[in-house]
């Protein structure tokens, strides 16, 4: 492949990029890869393998996050009385953990599978049936 065809190929590859600076950078990286291969300064970023977790790092269960925060609530006997999603979100918000209901779906489900919580249907004050979580 000659140089002119490489230049045309690089131009065609970046023509859909609207931002001029990004187009320039992409063009430069493509040429750098084509001319200098894996030993160029840009090729290193493409060829790096993703880091894998070592076995000595802490497990996910010990890290901070929604599941840990909910586990803390379990340990503090917060779930002795049935709590709906709004109750749980309000308590976590008071503790500076502002979340959406969808952020708690998986952690609550996991705690149910671990038999730390149970999920029950109960009517609220208006007669509407809602899911509540209570200690096992």
Has this prediction a pTM greater than 0.75?
Answer: no
Which pLDDT band holds residue 8 (cuts at 50, 70, 90)?
confident
- Does residue 87 fall inside a structural domain? yes
Looking at the structure, do residues 70 and 100 belong to the same domain, yes or no? yes
CATH number at residue 105: 1.10.10.10
Q: Which domain holds residue 69?
A: 61-135
Q: How far apart are CA 79 and CA 75, in angstroms?
A: 9
**CB 127 within 8 Å of CB 121:** no
- Does residue 54 fall inside a structural domain? no
Looking at the structure, do residues 80 and 15 belong to the same domain, yes or no? no
What digits encode the pLDDT tens for the residues 19-77?
888 888 888 888 888 777 765 555 455 555 566 655 544 455 557 899 999 999 999 99
């Amino acid at each position: 492949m000659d140089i002119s065809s490489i230049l045309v190929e690089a131009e065609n590859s970046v023509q859909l990029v609207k931002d001029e600076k990004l187009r320039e950078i992409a063009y430069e990286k493509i040429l750098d890869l084509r001319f200098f291969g894996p030993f160029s300064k840009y090729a290193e970023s493409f060829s790096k393998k993703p880091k894998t977790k070592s076995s000595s790092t802490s497990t996910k269960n010990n890290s901070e996050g929604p599941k840990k925060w909910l586990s803390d609530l379990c340990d503090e006997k917060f779930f002795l009385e049935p709590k709906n999603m709004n109750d749980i979100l309000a308590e976590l918000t008071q503790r500076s953990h502002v979340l959406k209901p969808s952020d708690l779906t998986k952690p609550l489900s996991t705690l149910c599978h671990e038999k730390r919580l149970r999920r029950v249907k109960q009517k609220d004050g208006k007669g509407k049936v809602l899911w509540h979580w209570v200690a096992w």
